[in-house]
């Protein structure tokens, strides 16, 4: 009996019950909306010099990269030439991945150190349209700066190696220690003056840098590398010195942040060619 009565009552108030449920549901939606619009919105955080790096950088995985045919080497009144010395190493691949993801070109001044192990990396540099520059074969100061003959022998050795791998005879050069180095004085007086003159005579193009990431000194963190670069870049030509030696992990970690800052501040990226404005240090020997 009781059950029948309940059934009867429900049937009698069927429509009002449905209306009440619908109303409650609508009230819930409205309440949810009000809470949403009143809650603080996430703000876009622009990277500024002296940023603190809280997040860990995950290296880009090559199989996650879909961008093809990179490197529109755009030269503007605010151009950055990223240069990486002393590679290739296992880190070079990560640098190439970042450059590919960001769709920008760079320049690598290679040595013979681990080149046989990373032939495929050199070929990838070529395929992805970066500049492969020469940094000497041995990078051994006491050998290369002891005579003009040794320097050119060593340079030709790496040039030949790059040619065997890529078919390119590079004419883009960076002297170990830069053309301002004074270490060479220990081995041969005035050798840098003679070498740089001969390079120019032989139609080679040597490049120093005007922005030092300072990643060559041992204790640099990714934060300090980032700050060293972004605090110094300016309008005109910026040739940035970095390294892709196996020990320079923090350089790789700083790189995406440097690129992000540069892009957000109107810089374009280009690779070094023979037509790039010559950034030459003062020669001290
Ligand atoms: Zn070097």
Distance between Cα 198 and ligand 1 center (Å): 20
Confidence category of residue 40, pLDDT binned at 50, 70, 90: very low
Burial per residue of 98-115, b for 16 or more beta-carbon CB atoms within 10 angstroms, e otherwise: bbbbbebbbbbbbbbbbb
E-strand stretches of the chain: 78-85, 107-110, 131-134, 172-173, 205-206, 211-212, 236-243, 268-269
> 242 alpha carbon to ligand 1 midpoint, in Å?
9
Residues 164 and 25 in one domain: no
Are 130 and 99 in contact, with CB atoms under 8 Å apart?
yes
Instruction: Tell how far the Cα of 174 is from the centroid of ligand 1, in angstroms.
Output: 8
113 and 187 fall within a common domain: yes
Split at pLDDT 50, 70, 90, the class of 128 is very high
* Distance of CA 139 from the midpoint of ligand 1 (Å): 7
- What is the domain extent for residue 14? 2-38
CA distance 100 to 151: 34
With respect to residue 238, please indicate whether it lies within any of the assigned structural domains.
yes
Clarify whether residues 93 and 174 are in a common domain: yes
Q: Are residues 111 and 194 in the same domain?
A: yes
- Is 20 contained in some domain? yes
Residue 24 structure tokens: 């409650």
Q: Residue 227's pLDDT is what?
A: 97
pLDDT of residue 179: 98
Domain total for the chain? 2
Q: What is the pLDDT of residue 253?
A: 96
**Whole-angstrom Cα distance, residue 249 to residue 247?**
6
Same domain, 81 and 139: yes
Mean pLDDT, the chain, rounded, equals 87
Distance from Cα 231 to the centre of ligand 1, integer Å = 23
Residues 130 and 11 in one domain: no
Point out the least confidently predicted range of 38-42, 229-233, 281-285.
38-42
Q: pLDDT digit string (tens) for 74-112?
A: 888 999 999 999 999 999 999 999 999 999 999 999 999
Distance of CA 2 to the CA centre of its chain: 79
How far does the centroid of ligand 1 lie from the alpha carbon of residue 25, in Å?
69
- Segment holding 240, helix H or strand E: strand 236-243
133 and 255 together in one domain: yes
> Per-residue pLDDT for 36 more than 90?
no
Does a structural domain hold residue 57? no
Tell whether 247 is covered by a domain. yes
Ramachandran region of residue 156, left (φ > 0), alpha (ψ -120 to 50) or beta?
Answer: alpha
- How confident is the model over 187-246, as pLDDT tens digits? 999 999 999 999 999 999 999 999 999 999 988 999 999 999 999 999 999 999 999 999
Distance CA 95, CA 89 (A): 10
Q: Which two tokens stand for residue 107?
A: 């320049």
pLDDT at 212: 97
Give the predicted TM-score (pTM) of the model.
0.78
Query: Does residue 117 share a domain with residue 27?
Result: no
Please report the pLDDT score of residue 61 as a whole number.
43
Residue 44 inside a domain? The answer is: no
Task: Report DSSP letters for 118-162, one per residue.
Answer: THHHHHHHHHTT-EEEE--SS--HHHHTT-HHHHHHHHHHHHHHH
Q: Is there a domain that residue 94 lies in?
A: yes
Q: How confident is the model at residue 3, as a pLDDT?
A: 58
What is residue 71's predicted lDDT score, i.e. its pLDDT? Answer: 64
What's the CATH code of the domain at 250?
A: 3.20.20.370
């Amino acid at each position: 009996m009781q059950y029948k009565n309940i059934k009867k009552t429900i049937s009698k108030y069927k429509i009002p019950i449905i209306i009440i449920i619908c109303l409650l549901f609508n009230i819930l939606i409205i309440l949810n909306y009000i809470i949403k619009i009143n809650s603080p919105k996430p703000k876009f955080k622009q990277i500024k010099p002296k940023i603190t790096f809280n997040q860990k950088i995950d290296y880009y995985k090559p199989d996650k990269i879909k961008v093809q045919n990179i490197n529109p080497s755009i030269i503007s009144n605010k151009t950055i030439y990223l240069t990486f010395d002393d590679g290739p190493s296992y880190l070079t691949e990560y640098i190439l991945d970042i450059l590919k993801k960001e769709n920008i070109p760079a320049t690598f001044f290679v040595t013979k150190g681990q080149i046989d192990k990373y032939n495929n990396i050199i070929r990838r540099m070529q395929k992805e349209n970066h500049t492969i520059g020469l940094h000497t074969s041995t990078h051994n100061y006491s050998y290369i700066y002891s005579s003009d003959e040794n320097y050119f022998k060593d340079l030709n050795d790496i040039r030949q190696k790059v040619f065997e791998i890529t078919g390119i005879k590079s004419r883009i050069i960076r002297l170990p220690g830069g053309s301002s180095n004074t270490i060479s004085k220990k081995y041969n007086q005035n050798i840098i003056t003679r070498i740089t003159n001969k390079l120019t005579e032989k139609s080679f193009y040597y490049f120093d840098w005007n922005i030092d990431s300072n990643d060559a000194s041992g204790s640099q963190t990714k934060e300090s590398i980032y700050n060293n670069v972004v605090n110094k870049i300016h309008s005109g030509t910026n040739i940035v010195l970095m390294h892709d030696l196996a020990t320079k992990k923090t350089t790789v970690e700083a790189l995406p942040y440097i690129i992000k800052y540069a892009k957000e501040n109107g810089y374009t990226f280009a690779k070094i060619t023979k037509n790039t404005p010559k950034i030459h240090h003062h020669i001290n020997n």
